[in-house]
Copies of this chain bind each other. A is one copy, B any other.
Amino acid sequence: MNQRFEADYLIETALDPRRAAETMAGEQSSGTFLRLAGETDALKLRAAARVESLEELEARPAPSLPGAAGDCGQGWRRARVTLSWPLDTIGPSLPNLMSTVAGNLFELHAFSGLRLTDIRLPPAFAAAGPGPRFGIEGTRRLAGVGAGPLIGTIVKPSVGLSPAATADLVATLAGAGIDFIKDDELQSDGPACPFEDRARAVMRVINDHSDKTGKKVMFAFNLTGEVDEMRRRHDLIRDLGGTCVMVNLNSVGVSGFLALSRHAELPIHAHRNGWGYLSRHPALGWSYTAWSKIWRLAGADHMHVNGLANKFCEEDDSVIRSARAQLTPLWSDNPCIAMPVFSSAQTVLQPPETFRQLGSADLIYAAGGGILGHPDGPAAGVESLRAAWAAAMAGADLDDWARSHPPLARALAQARGITS
């Protein structure tokens, strides 16, 4: 096995960036702070990480993070660095990939900034995870949506509804023609709304609606929990005729997720809550492109990407970059494409720009207030969002389109009132 895997970083250091990059490579492979007898040249050649490339960027006058080794009078130098490792050292294992590309190196004294921006894995890594087994096509098939985004929403209030109240809300939304509904990430299996009770109540409504109309709403049941719990809940949803389960990625971790995904027979809706602590500082942590590759390979079918003009602090460029990454193949023969999920303060206003920038409508578009809060009711809410996306995909002006689509016209007026 002669293959190597690579990771790209943004680094910031008071040292010579080349020397700092060599420190990273040493720390994350054969090195230690002393050169030991056992670390022969032959061993290094076989096992060491290599600095594949380094491109210096503009320096900064002050360090981005505290605790780095002192300023040498040349400012804090920044660079893009690519390291590579022999696959022979870890084999195709996602948990061990994590330790290698994102282990101790963020704490190294040499750095006042260190962010993992991308990873590239050899095809042998396809064995490291099942990949998305439904992805865009499988999701469209199960949801019965041939083109355009799945119009979706989230059960709100996030917590506090009983199983029966949740099912009532689902009945309203199904009646309104919605394609997709998800549990809130805070709702899983508390005594106030036990998973099994909620699943049975909700699936009764969804199955009834499907029997009557032929349309089965896709509901992503949040089964976040321990491995045995998640597998048991997955089996319940499958047996009840459900078509999707949801997991909070940072709450279960890579090994827990794999234990579910290798078992799963339904699409997995992956929620990224906690993503802020991994990414909020631009000189620390993970890019979504790098991080999401691990979860896609691990089997995530739907990946959250926030949305344009969201209620969080992420900028629009970053949102689009994240969404594009999900639609970019990992390998040509094993693309591991995940369906991006847009959410957070999404209304009829964002579809044109979202479609223009992404160049695709292969996505889930989750709106809250825009559906249940539509002045003419939830059916008009769903219709207004579909119309906004139809306009976006046709390249038409929203207001022009709204002239022949009254629910869109009402929603636009409402959304502009809210956001102005």
Contacts from A to B (Cβ < 8 Å): 1, 28-34, 36-39, 43-44, 46-48, 65-69, 86-91, 93-96, 98-100, 102-109, 111, 114, 156-161, 165, 169, 185-193, 224-228, 230, 248, 250-259, 262, 273-278, 280-282, 284-286, 306, 311-315, 345, 368-369, 372-373
Which residue of B91, B106, B109, B189 contacts A277 across the interface (Cβ within 8 Å)? B106
Q: CA–CA, A93 to B190, complex, Å? A: 9
Residues on the B chain within 8 Å of A102, using CB: 250, 274, 277
**10 closest cross-chain pairs (CB), A and B:** A253-B253, A255-B256, A106-B276, A67-B313, A47-B160, A103-B273, A107-B276, A34-B369, A252-B255, A107-B312
Residues on the B chain within 8 Å of A189, using CB: 90-91, 93, 96
Residues on the B chain within 8 Å of A165, using CB: 38
Which residue of B43, B67, B69, B159 contacts A29 across the interface (Cβ within 8 Å)? B159
Copies assembled = 2
Residues on the B chain within 8 Å of A255, using CB: 225-227, 230, 251-253, 255-257, 259
- A185, B47: Cβ atoms under 8 Å? no
6 contacts between A and B (CB under 8 A): A90-B186, A95-B225, A99-B274, A104-B312, A226-B262, A252-B254
Residues on the B chain within 8 Å of A252, using CB: 95, 253-256
Q: CA–CA, A259 to B260, complex, Å? A: 12
Residues on the B chain within 8 Å of A224, using CB: 95-96, 99
Given contacts A104-B312, A255-B226, A280-B107, contact A47 B159 (CB under 8 A): yes
Residues on the B chain within 8 Å of A108, using CB: 276, 311-313
- B256, A192: Cβ atoms under 8 Å? no
Chain B residue at minimal CB-CB distance from A166: B38
Residues on the B chain within 8 Å of A43, using CB: 157, 160-161
Nearest-CB distance from A7 to chain B (Å)? 13
Interface centre among A157, A254, A262, A306 (most CB of B within 10 A): A157
Q: CA–CA, A167 to B224, complex, Å? A: 41
Which residue of B156, B187, B276 contacts A36 across the interface (Cβ within 8 Å)? B156
Chain B residue at minimal CB-CB distance from A162: B43
Q: CA–CA, A363 to B28, complex, Å? A: 26
- A37, B251: Cβ atoms under 8 Å? no
Chain B residue at minimal CB-CB distance from A100: B186
Nearest-CB distance from A382 to chain B (Å)? 16
Nearest-CB distance from A349 to chain B (Å)? 14
- A48, B312: Cβ atoms under 8 Å? no
Given contacts A36-B369, A255-B225, contact A157 B47 (CB under 8 A): yes
Residues on the B chain within 8 Å of A284, using CB: 276-277, 280-281, 284
Residues on the B chain within 8 Å of A256, using CB: 95, 227, 252-259
Q: CA–CA, A276 to B89, complex, Å? A: 23
- B156, A32: Cβ atoms under 8 Å? yes
Which residue of B36, B65, B276, B368 contacts A33 across the interface (Cβ within 8 Å)? B368
- A157, B253: Cβ atoms under 8 Å? no
Q: CA–CA, A345 to B107, complex, Å? A: 14
Chain B residue at minimal CB-CB distance from A276: B106
Nearest-CB distance from A209 to chain B (Å)? 20
Residues on the B chain within 8 Å of A94, using CB: 226
- B156, A104: Cβ atoms under 8 Å? no
Chain B residue at minimal CB-CB distance from A26: B158
Q: CA–CA, A190 to B128, complex, Å? A: 12
Residues on the B chain within 8 Å of A30, using CB: 157-160
- B90, A188: Cβ atoms under 8 Å? yes
Residues on the B chain within 8 Å of A193, using CB: 89
Which residue of B38, B68, B91, B286 contacts A157 across the interface (Cβ within 8 Å)? B38
- A157, B31: Cβ atoms under 8 Å? yes
Nearest-CB distance from A99 to chain B (Å)? 5
Given contacts A28-B186, A254-B253, contact A160 B44 (CB under 8 A): yes
Residues on the B chain within 8 Å of A169, using CB: 38
- A99, B248: Cβ atoms under 8 Å? yes
